Structure 1
Amino acid sequence: MTAVLPVRGPGAAQLLPPAEDTRSAHDRFAGPARTLGLLAPWLVRAVVGLAVAVFAFLAVGPHVLGYRTMTMLTGSMAPMIEPGDVTVVTPIAVEDVTEGMVITYHQPIGDRSIVTHRVIEVDRSADGRVSVRTQGDANEAADPWTATLEGDTAYQVRAVVPELGHAIQALRAPVLTQTLLYGVPALLAGWVLLTIWRPTPETTDEEDLS
């Protein structure tokens, strides 16, 4: 019996069976590990930088620059100030309070809680006392009281940081506190391990040539 063999033309390449992936598990995971190793330092820096910035804004700034920060709890000043926004207030002389300003003060009734509303009327008495009527931008009626501003200083809203109050409240939650307490060290440890295990350029070149 005569066998007929196919004849390859000149220069034709011989077909080879598909090669199997002979890379080790270390080689297959080297790429993702290298990517994580590159991203981890920037992630840690971003988290630390954000934490430092928030701490400086809330704890250091008021002592150095003289402003105060307060979290809005209601929607009475929406849309200018939404619940969860943080207001930045600075001191001004009581005699400088005018209509249209948004000020923060203690309401003269009930538990004397802090309120942030817009001044709609100012009354100056002969003895120098300054009394104001206020109203929230989202409220249909004025506040049911006339407040006498005590002392020589009032506080005017100068800036609003949206949603920061929600982040502050979340950071005070026990679950998140524990997560930060143990999660940040774990993240740093992972960064160190990825840095140690990350293949060096020399090792990669040798593996590519083998």
Structure 2
Amino acid sequence: MTTVHPVRRPEAADSLPSAGDERSTAGRRADRARQIVGRTAPWLVRGVMGVAVLVFLLLAVGPHVFGYRTMTMLTDSMAPEIESGDVTVVTAIGVTDVTEGMVLAYHMPIGDGSLVTHRVISVEQAADGSVQIRTKGDANDEVDPWTATLEGDTAYQVRAVVPELGHLVTLLRTPVVNQVLIYGAPLLLATWLLLSIWRPRRSTDEDVEA
């Protein structure tokens, strides 16, 4: 009795497992982790540096170029429009242009004369030509217990609010963070440059035919 065995075509032959397939699961995970780090780290460094540059431009360069001032809100007296930790952007206007409804930043005429940012609820011109205002915080129940006289020819009106930026500014001013930035910024820059040059090399497995 003759037995006939089927003959497979060469292209249908089974491939033997390559040496590269013998890598452990841990090794494959390590390679994938390196690839993920290699892809995300540059963007993370770029993001941190981009935020730092924007904050610097807003707080240090902008006031000299565009003439505005920035102030950090310390209380919630103007919430929800302006909350504690927000940074306000104010610009100068003529004292005679002040009207009810404006939000002004001015020095209180009592106590230590600290800066306050409240809404104008009344404007009066005194006999000597000076402008006097009454103000109130949007979140306060009572009107401010003083009448403020706007000195000079200019007042400062709130034009924009940057939420939460004041918390970042306060953090950056702490001694520990200052030291980290002094020594960490060059390290971040060097890391960025190295990651821009280095790219994880992809390994390809070669099929071995029987």
Q: Which interval holds the TM-score relative to the shorter structure?
A: 0.7 to 0.9
The superposition leaves residues 87-117 of structure 1 with CA deviations (integer Å, 9 ceiling, x where unpaired) of 1111110001011111011111111111111
Q: Please show how residues 163-178 of structure 1 align to structure 2 within 5 Å.
A: 163-178=164-179
Gaps of 5+ in 1: 1-8
1:144 aligns to what? 145
> Any conservation in 1 of the 2:42–2:196 contact (CA below 8 Å)?
no
Gaps of 5+ in 2: 1-5
Q: Please show how residues 1-210 of structure 1 align to structure 2 within 5 Å.
A: 21-22=22-23, 29-191=30-192, 198-200=199-201, 204=202, 208-209=205-206
Structure 1 residues 198, 28: closer, same or farther in 2, change over 3 A? farther
TM-score (norm 2): 0.80
Aligned residue pair count: 199
| 1:209 match: secondary structure | coil
The superposition leaves residues 117-158 of structure 1 with CA deviations (integer Å, 9 ceiling, x where unpaired) of 111111112432100011111111111111110000000111
TM-score (norm 1): 0.80
Greater relative contact order (CA < 8 Å, ≥ 6 in sequence): 2
| 2:156 match: secondary structure | strand
Amino acid at match of 2:76: G
Cα distance in structure 2, aligned partners of 1:78 and 1:208: 62
Q: CA deviation at 1:194?
A: 5.1
Cα distance in structure 1, aligned partners of 2:83 and 2:206: 62
Structure 1 residues 182, 21: closer, same or farther in 2, change over 3 A? farther
Deviates more, 1:163-172 or 1:122-131: 122-131
Cα distance in structure 1, aligned partners of 2:188 and 2:49: 12
The superposition leaves residues 170-196 of structure 1 with CA deviations (integer Å, 9 ceiling, x where unpaired) of 111222223333333334444455566
The superposition leaves residues 22-59 of structure 1 with CA deviations (integer Å, 9 ceiling, x where unpaired) of 46x98764432233222222222211111111100011
Q: CA deviation at 1:165?
A: 0.3
